[in-house]
Amino acid sequence: MTVSSTTTTSALTGTSSTSNTTGSSASATTASQQLAGNFNTFLQLLTTQLQNQDPLNPLDTDQFTQQLVEFSSVEQQINTNTNLQTLISLQQASEATSALQLIGSTVTVSGSAAPLSNATNSPATWNLTSSGAGTGQVTITNSSGQTVYNGTVSLSSGAQSYSWNGKGNNGTTYPDGTYTLAINATSASGQALTVTTGVQGTISAVNATQSPPTITMGGQSYPMSSIQSVSSSSPTSSLNSSISSLNSSISSLNSSISSLSQYL
């Protein structure tokens, strides 16, 4: 009888080990199958022990009850993990749908790399947010990390912008490309200021295979979480706005017709 009890405990131990491996839907399915097999083994052992127990020294039913509760608890944990995996999948699909609606929108993202286009006379432009007024030491580098410009800029407290026309300190006009801005700022009293940089551009593509999805702007890839603001509506948003305006006009027309019918 002692051997049977040890085997039962072993079956439970195996179940607890399995429950720690439920990191995905497939793992949860495997864990459920193993749990069912261990549970059947446990019931067989329980039945065998009850049939062969000593009437003068019956088995402790509290122990079996506790083990049954443990099995039920593990099964509930597996089901919870499966449901959580489903919720995560739905959230990822929702994020992808929301990201696709941003194509064509002009957004500001956290970043220090901005595109320069001499062909369209478009300077590299950054949005700056300074913690106070002061002077900033500006360093601009190209995609190879080479410094192409050094200068200073006067900063005010709050949001502002900084543009670079592509000309280096030696008068050389650098080619189109992506350039990175670094700025160290201090106040009039010499205290260090915090300056955050952002880049504005139009979203040209969305990679919905990433989690979370990423956007492409000016040839650079950014995570959705880097978006600071959306300054213009996408085509989808414009269409929704037009439909909303149309529905409002129809409601107003129906109201006018209703008022007119009272006089007929």
Residue 124 pLDDT grade (very low, low, confident, very high; cuts 50, 70, 90): very high
Q: How many CB atoms lie within 10 A of CB 155?
A: 23
Domain boundaries 112-203, CATH class: mainly beta
Of residues 257 and 105, which shows the higher confidence score?
105
Residue 86 pLDDT grade (very low, low, confident, very high; cuts 50, 70, 90): confident
Domain layout of the chain by residue ranges: 2-100, 112-203
With a cut of 80, say whether residue 188 has pLDDT above it: yes
pTM of this prediction exceeds 0.85: no
Query: With contact defined as beta carbons under 8 Å apart, do 194 and 224 qualify?
Result: no
Q: CA of 245: how far to CAs of 238, 240, 242, in Å?
A: 10, 9, 5
| Angle, CA of 241, 247 and 249, to the nearest 5° | 105
Query: With contact defined as beta carbons under 8 Å apart, do 178 and 191 qualify?
Result: no
Beta bridge partners of 216: 205, 221
**Residue 249 confidence (pLDDT):** 55
- Mean pLDDT, to the nearest integer, of 180-200? 94
**Residue 13 confidence (pLDDT):** 37
| Angle, CA of 194, 195 and 196, to the nearest 5° | 120
Q: Which residues, 6 or more positions from 75, have their beta carbon under 8 angstroms from its beta carbon?
A: 32, 35
**Residue 254 confidence (pLDDT):** 60
With a cut of 80, say whether residue 164 has pLDDT above it: yes
**Residue 248 confidence (pLDDT):** 62
- Mean pLDDT, to the nearest integer, of 9-35? 48
Q: Which residues, 6 or more positions from 208, have their beta carbon under 8 angstroms from its beta carbon?
A: 96, 99, 100
With a cut of 70, say whether residue 198 has pLDDT above it: yes
**Residue 85 confidence (pLDDT):** 75
- Mean pLDDT, to the nearest integer, of 13-31? 48
**Residue 33 confidence (pLDDT):** 64
